[in-house]
Structure 1
């Protein structure tokens, strides 16, 4: 748009008048448009910009100009990919990735198809053109898959939050809630994954049938114990006793070909082992970029419900070159979102006995057993199949009970903090805490209980809520906050860190909080004046303030139990809703 400002092209008078008419109509509803710096350029050359950094009112104006055919071109991000209906004869795609909340990511198949779908509208155009330009920012592989592949699967965004638990327990007896969760779309999708695992489980059980019944009812375990006792080796399973319950629960699933989430990024397991010099279970990981790393198993934070075929070898890189190449491509092509395999933590799993203890149990029947040769021959394959059966059974159990398990975990936390009593009934604090139905609700309710907001000024309250609501880490230039804001944010950060085991802490950016404090404290400050104090885009400021008002509105509902806080929240909202923010619905 800056390059067009130097253009000498001038639109025909009739088109300029049409643009002016449309802008006048939209300005009547959204007065902030009248001062937009791009109006002169749009009216002179008939070209506009449309992206998330613009105010919602300006984006509506651009969409209306396009709908009426007043513009010749629009430069846009994926904000114009879906949910609009106007003629666009040609779409030019100049990059295959987009910056989202915290990083650049490849466009999804749905986004690419929506972008291309803007070219030509049925009933308005006979033909549409989608053009891909050569560019350093274009990955043709991403775009080709997006244009020819299927859209990404729909995944439930159902989250069991603390307010949801409190409100469900307020409305229903505890024993009825499990059946309510079972009817959710999230559980429906989990049941679909369960059905796939059950089919695999049936196949594994069919593989076990040829090994048939033998003298021992559980000949696989009997032979394993006998073989360990004979060789005087400590069972491998004993090492799990030294691990935390979370790590020990995941070990069973860290098999070659399994996709896992790491502290940073994702990877594929190539092997799991315990070397003589290590005191913790280790894994060999294939990571992004094709690098191979030997890491402690504790680096795995998530186990995804996705495995690839992995032809193992007994030496580095622990799989065949062809498999390594295939897995590298698979890792590169993984979608941004993968279903997570919910793993239940068992605190008291049975641990095999040490061989020295086994020797005291008496002689085994294995040396003279007629099935000895068959057991020795079949044990490696039968043991592997049984491990797969056990793994699938644990996965099925986790999928079937994961929602209820997470619900119970939330109940335990709420009971520990005093929002529920021992019979899962709401306490006095639970009655008002259920009204805080926003992100980071536990932090906010604990701040209220700690009287962190006692007699707080509206600008300071709005600033803290903005720091909790904001979830973008893009750097920028911002005004400085007051000494009181710095002190209060320090206390909020300490409390958020203490709650980290129960709730992910917010970013708590002091610079974003300072911007909000300035807007509420200085009622003479105009929107344009505020925009000059920061490098933050207008659209980002609008979303920040709109979300902050939403958080403050939750505090405003606490008039009965916390009248002073509710009044401060009401005054903070009034101080924020001026200028552009008066256009909020």
Structure 2
């Protein structure tokens, strides 16, 4: 520790000393500290220990950008010969004693039994709280569970409120683990609210760490503004008197250039303004460009231009216009920028470097910037406290607010950091105060076994040991702890049952009588449910029988009204015909839109090829639909359950009337007690079922996965078949679909561009719910292979339902045309035009999805015995990895 500390240009903080001391004593370490507190110093000490001992240290991160960043840091400190990088995209010096990698790379190395693991003494898992990520979190737990016991594990996490629980689990599965917590920010954070042009402190205190009471002057001023806004909302506008339709309507927030200028005057730049949409970030930047705002230093243009050239000098000049290069460059030269996943990676990396160097002073960013990239600011601005989560607009959680504002305050540069929330009429300052003063950020496991994980576990340790390993996961650890509360609930209920039973001791038969009445209610519910299921089945059958050109009346939901069928339903078990409504909406409807059977009410002659993604096509078809003169008939009502003719129900009703308790004068009073008794009994039974379901829940899911894999001959009993060994080499969300397509030869005899297009349906995810079709796909070979792939998924989905397993994600056809064009050498402008007309494909998304396609193509040679297919996959990678995709490949 002395030698390590001597090489630092700062004194170690207390938590850093405690963590390093534990690591020097040979213990595993979990460090939870705020953003910017310096927890990576503990990871760097692990590197120091490994190098001193002549062993190997792996430093893992959740994203490639962070891996690249740490690689550059370590190269500067230890020299290029001592450091390597493995990210999937890149392999630099893989035999180095210090290897920086993404966590997935380490997981794959463990399963493959890589020789690189020999001599490994330390593994640093930076941003270990990513194990809560519902898409990728399982990887972290797999690594933690599989690492040899003699390898020291250093887990670095953001501040979480259940760090002790996570540490207890690590001790259970890894051995003695020191939990080191630090909740003190190295740079104090001040909270503010900007109301119009006035900047207020949020809290009435001189100590930002003890803030609880909202500042009185802020409350008074906001009340005055609210009264003013309310008065304005009642004032006549454009000759139309009356109140506004909603509170705050007509309120104009301070323009972004004015906000940044005000922050500049207050000495609060550089700043990151979080805007929860890519479009919003771009619009904010455009607003600033239209103004005279210029935040760059007078002599910075040459430095900015040099950084731009270093990152983008290799971009084809023909692509610059479609990439928006010139507007982007102009903004940088004025010291402002946007930062989001839709941008070209080279553009994002340029912005990051310029911001860190102080050459860009204001960035409009989506929340992804808060997830690990080292890009702190003096000030963080939140325009709203609501974001869209993909399904609905939801309030920010305290944990999200803490993570976003944690970017404010640069250690070693700023004395204090600042968080600024922009006030608007619907915002209550008490809401801001609640977010700012709450430190609840629990870590919840997202671990669940996958098909690939199952065959790898069985191959490595056998079925019984694999089941035990799953039972040791953090997910099961948390589930088992929840059982304690359930058991307490059972104990309380049993005491309540005994008390109620005592109250009914002198009322013979009343419990039985109440039980009969309960059975009547249950039977009536059962009959109503059966009726709904029959109706649902009839509705599904009706949907599955619709044909192209049928005109129907959608009876319910947002799509209610006339519609024409563009494409039949496809899967009979979950029919979703593609339709176009009279309101120009095109997409797939389901039973949710048609809960009663719908039948054609007419026909519409359609062109041979219909591209519903084109606005003009939708407009013309909707017009033709309205001109048919067809009208929506009265909605069909759901039939009532046929309870009167049910023999079992009739018998129960006779038994109730004949029961001795039925004629008691105090029947209803006793029945109320009896119903509470039955309710307590049912709750107790439900709690017992929950305990049973929670205990060993992952192992049961694992057993169901094994049963499905045995049915499909990936396992023979507990032995891995050749097909299973190939599945073990496929790491993707749709692993079993890929394995099935390879085994059935569905991707044989395709060109490189065709294969890239087909593979894309298993990695691409549209940013809209609207369906994509291949009515006019690239060519017959691609269409057939895509349809075969979708059919494989459909059959797997049916098996997953039968085995009560989560469904594999549905293939998405939205990237087929763009990647096919790109792999055939078409220019970027043509490729981006091939995306969804309503939400065009951005250059950044295009590059990101191309790299996802490359990642899956790269796995195919190891997962197939078909030499020609393996060669085609390699050729497809070369065809895609060009131009903007090849630049900034990290």
Q: Contact 1:235 / 1:354 at 8 angstroms: preserved in 2?
A: no
* Of 742, 762, 778, the match for 1:482: 778
- Single out whichever of 96-105 and 63-72 deviates more from structure 2: 96-105
Structure 1 residue 127: deviation in Å?
3.4
* Of 720, 724, 729, the match for 1:426: 720
- Going from structure 1 to structure 2, the CA distance change for 1:225 and 1:83 (only over 3 Å counts) comes to same
* Of 290, 305, 308, the match for 1:20: 305
* Of 441, 452, 460, the match for 2:754: 460
Superposed CA offset, 1:286-307 (max 9, x none) = xxxxxxxxxx9xx9xxxxxxxx
Give the total of aligned pairs. 475
Distance 2:474 2:302 in 1: 51
Matched with 1:521 is 824
Matched with 1:349 is none
Structure 1 residue 405: deviation in Å?
1.6
Structure 1 residue 158: deviation in Å?
0.9
Q: Contact 2:501 / 2:677 at 8 angstroms: preserved in 1?
A: no
- Single out whichever of 111-120 and 563-572 deviates more from structure 2: 111-120
Instruction: Please tell me whether residue 58 in structure 1 is matched to residue 347 in structure 2.
Output: yes
1:61-460 paired onto structure 2 within 5 Å: 61-86=350-375, 88-101=377-390, 104-135=393-424, 143=432, 145-210=434-499, 224-225=511-512, 236=522, 379-421=674-716, 423-460=717-754
Structure 1 residue 165: deviation in Å?
1.4
- Going from structure 1 to structure 2, the CA distance change for 1:114 and 1:174 (only over 3 Å counts) comes to closer
Q: Secondary structure at the match of 2:413?
A: coil
Q: Contact 1:497 / 1:505 at 8 angstroms: preserved in 2?
A: no
Distance 2:507 2:343 in 1: 66
Structure 1 residue 180: deviation in Å?
1.1
Structure 1 residue 490: deviation in Å?
2.7
Matched with 2:877 is 573
Q: Secondary structure at the match of 1:83?
A: coil
Distance 1:476 1:214 in 2: 61
Q: Contact 2:514 / 2:675 at 8 angstroms: preserved in 1?
A: no
- Going from structure 1 to structure 2, the CA distance change for 1:452 and 1:476 (only over 3 Å counts) comes to closer
Q: Contact 1:93 / 1:132 at 8 angstroms: preserved in 2?
A: yes
Distance 1:124 1:132 in 2: 23
Distance 1:536 1:197 in 2: 49
Structure 1 residue 390: deviation in Å?
0.5
Distance 1:552 1:222 in 2: 71
Distance 2:841 2:438 in 1: 36
Q: Contact 1:46 / 1:70 at 8 angstroms: preserved in 2?
A: yes
Structure 1 residue 426: deviation in Å?
2.3
Distance 2:859 2:507 in 1: 59
Distance 1:7 1:185 in 2: 52
Instruction: Please tell me whether residue 49 in structure 1 is matched to residue 343 in structure 2.
Output: no
Q: Secondary structure at the match of 1:482?
A: coil
Unaligned runs of 5+ in 2: 1-284, 534-556, 558-591, 596-647, 801-805
Q: Secondary structure at the match of 1:2?
A: helix
- Going from structure 1 to structure 2, the CA distance change for 1:238 and 1:26 (only over 3 Å counts) comes to same
Distance 2:701 2:833 in 1: 46
Instruction: Please tell me whether residue 556 in structure 1 is matched to residue 853 in structure 2.
Output: no
Matched with 2:642 is none
Q: Secondary structure at the match of 2:873?
A: helix
Q: Contact 2:772 / 2:813 at 8 angstroms: preserved in 1?
A: no
- Going from structure 1 to structure 2, the CA distance change for 1:384 and 1:514 (only over 3 Å counts) comes to same
Structure 1 residue 396: deviation in Å?
0.6
Q: Secondary structure at the match of 1:504?
A: coil
Q: Secondary structure at the match of 1:92?
A: strand
Structure 1 residue 520: deviation in Å?
0.7
Q: Secondary structure at the match of 1:500?
A: helix
Structure 1 residue 118: deviation in Å?
2.5
Structure 1 residue 558: deviation in Å?
2.3
Q: Contact 1:478 / 1:515 at 8 angstroms: preserved in 2?
A: no
Matched with 1:495 is 792
Distance 2:380 2:508 in 1: 64
Q: Contact 1:207 / 1:385 at 8 angstroms: preserved in 2?
A: yes
Structure 1 residue 15: deviation in Å?
2.0
Q: Contact 1:462 / 1:572 at 8 angstroms: preserved in 2?
A: yes
- Single out whichever of 90-99 and 473-482 deviates more from structure 2: 473-482
Q: Contact 1:166 / 1:430 at 8 angstroms: preserved in 2?
A: yes
Superposed CA offset, 1:535-578 (max 9, x none) = 3111111211111111112212125x232222221111121112
- Going from structure 1 to structure 2, the CA distance change for 1:375 and 1:574 (only over 3 Å counts) comes to same
Structure 1 residue 392: deviation in Å?
0.4
Structure 1 residue 478: deviation in Å?
12
Matched with 2:842 is 537
- Going from structure 1 to structure 2, the CA distance change for 1:384 and 1:555 (only over 3 Å counts) comes to same
Distance 2:300 2:409 in 1: 22
Distance 1:72 1:476 in 2: 41
Distance 1:228 1:65 in 2: 74
Q: TM-score, normalised by structure 2?
A: 0.47
- Going from structure 1 to structure 2, the CA distance change for 1:99 and 1:364 (only over 3 Å counts) comes to closer
Distance 1:545 1:403 in 2: 34
- Single out whichever of 168-177 and 233-242 deviates more from structure 2: 233-242
Distance 1:404 1:444 in 2: 25
Distance 2:813 2:877 in 1: 20
- Single out whichever of 387-396 and 431-440 deviates more from structure 2: 431-440
Distance 2:513 2:766 in 1: 58
- Going from structure 1 to structure 2, the CA distance change for 1:358 and 1:419 (only over 3 Å counts) comes to farther
* Of 282, 286, 290, the match for 1:2: 286
Distance 1:134 1:374 in 2: 56
- Going from structure 1 to structure 2, the CA distance change for 1:436 and 1:80 (only over 3 Å counts) comes to closer
- Single out whichever of 75-84 and 176-185 deviates more from structure 2: 75-84
Structure 1 residue 455: deviation in Å?
1.5
Superposed CA offset, 1:433-455 (max 9, x none) = 22222111222222223321121
- Going from structure 1 to structure 2, the CA distance change for 1:12 and 1:168 (only over 3 Å counts) comes to closer
Q: Contact 1:235 / 1:355 at 8 angstroms: preserved in 2?
A: no
